[in-house]
Amino acid sequence: MSIAHWCRRSVGFCLIAATTVVLWGCGGGGGGSADQPIPLTVAKASCGPNDNPETGLQGQVPAALRASGFMGFSCNLQLIGQSKGDGASWQHAFFQDKSGHTCSYYDTSSPLNGTANRTHLGVVVIDTTVPSNPTPTAYLTSVAMMDPWESLKVNAQRQLLGGEDAKNGTDVPEDGTVNTGTGLLELYDLSGDCRNPQLLSSVTTGTAANGDATALPPGEILAGHEGSFSPDGLTWYGGDRGTPKKYTATDISSTVHPRLLGTFTMPQLTPTTVTTHGLSISDDGMRAYVSQAGVLGSQVDLLSAPPADGILILDVSDFQKRVANPQFRLVGSLLWRDGGQMQHTILATIGAKSYLVAVDVGSWRS
């Protein structure tokens, strides 16, 4: 679904939040003044003669094209450099250090998927200072970096690379018997030379032994999946798929000893399974825009089932301010029926207006 179409369907999303943190809106384009309407669509791109533009609906690859050997679409893109390795997984992060080195980080598939024909494992560090000659400089193979799934992120302000132990992003079943992620969070220092990240901590959070403000009760399990830094880099927020499904807030002001501060358990809706995914944090650190990922069973009637996929707005000011006994507080939501596993949110400013973009993994409609 295009952003413009999503905005037209979700006019209720175009509102000013109850606080001064974020102005929500739908639209597109940029450069419009307050007295000029902003168009809801962006003009179609004019592709070059050597491009291979999409032939079907946006984001879709027709079955016939897949069967014949799909080589990718392109429009106004030119390959200027390439580094081939052992494949990749879900995340790609970037950083430039004080010496001007530009670095790229991406995760690879979990060793649980097998290591045949693979030369390297873990997170790949690429020196992209010379764009025409991207060069691997390191492979991060600590526990979480073997498969951080969708949690691999960079915080430029504190010059940190972080990620959780996710192991294929697998959900934890009730008996907790399968190979899956844990509450282990790792932080790397990028300040000296981004081409050679230095491990600062590899800590399993959520335990009294770790000195956490919130130690999980018996029966609760943490399982890394997706996460993000607060803008100031002092807090790590995770979309955790343990038992129960929850969002977590972890104090990383001490980069050598992260401590879990609190959790928010996802509401459950019958007959839809509700889980977590990605999130974004407002610039002042006071609001979290988190995914409510509805997982619909094959027999669920979309017309009668309650809306279960969408966005939750959480007040996270307690964590930002480091008050005693901090809590997540649900202050708003926007849910829909026809989405498939809400993926993540993106904060954007276009034409001096602030927007929140919502991205679903897919649609359950055929």
Q: Give per-residue burial for 146-167: e unless 16+ CB within 10 Å, then b.
A: bbbbbbbbbbeebbbbbbbbbb
The distance in angstroms from the start CA to the end CA of the chain is 13
Q: Which amino acid is at 182?
A: T
Q: What is the pLDDT of residue 44?
A: 81
List the chain residues with pLDDT less than 50.
Answer: 1-33, 365-366
Q: What is the pLDDT of residue 173?
A: 62
Q: What is the pLDDT of residue 36?
A: 65
Q: Which residue has the tokens 């000195």?
A: 211
Q: What is the pLDDT of residue 331?
A: 97
Do the beta carbons of residue 177 and residue 199 sit within 8 Å?
no
pLDDT in tens, 56-91: 787 788 888 889 988 889 999 988 999 988 888 999
Q: Rounded to 5 degrees, what angle do the CA atoms 32, 33, 37 make?
A: 65
Residue 7 contacts by C-beta under 8 Å, 6 or more apart in sequence? 13, 14, 26, 27, 28, 40
Q: What is the pLDDT of residue 365?
A: 45
Strand 153-155 relative to strand 160-164: parallel, antiparallel, unpaired? antiparallel
pLDDT in tens, 282-338: 999 999 999 999 876 666 676 777 888 899 999 999 999 999 999 999 999 999 887
Report the alpha-carbon distance of residue 20 to residue 94 in Å, rounded: 30
Indicate the Cα dihedral angle 290, 152, 168, 251, nearest 10°. -60
Do the beta carbons of residue 284 and residue 21 sit within 8 Å?
yes
Question: 346 in helix, strand or coil?
Answer: strand
Q: What is the pLDDT of residue 29?
A: 37
| Residue spans per domain, the chain | 1-33+268-321+335-366, 85-265
pTM of the model: 0.84
Task: Give DSSP secondary structure letters for 28-50.
Answer: --S---TTSPPPSS-PPP---TT
Q: Give per-residue burial for 273-296: e unless 16+ CB within 10 Å, then b.
A: bbbbbbbbbbeebbbbbbbbbbbb
Nearest alpha carbon to residue 200 among 209, 213, 187: 187
Report the alpha-carbon distance of residue 152 to residue 161 in Å, rounded: 7
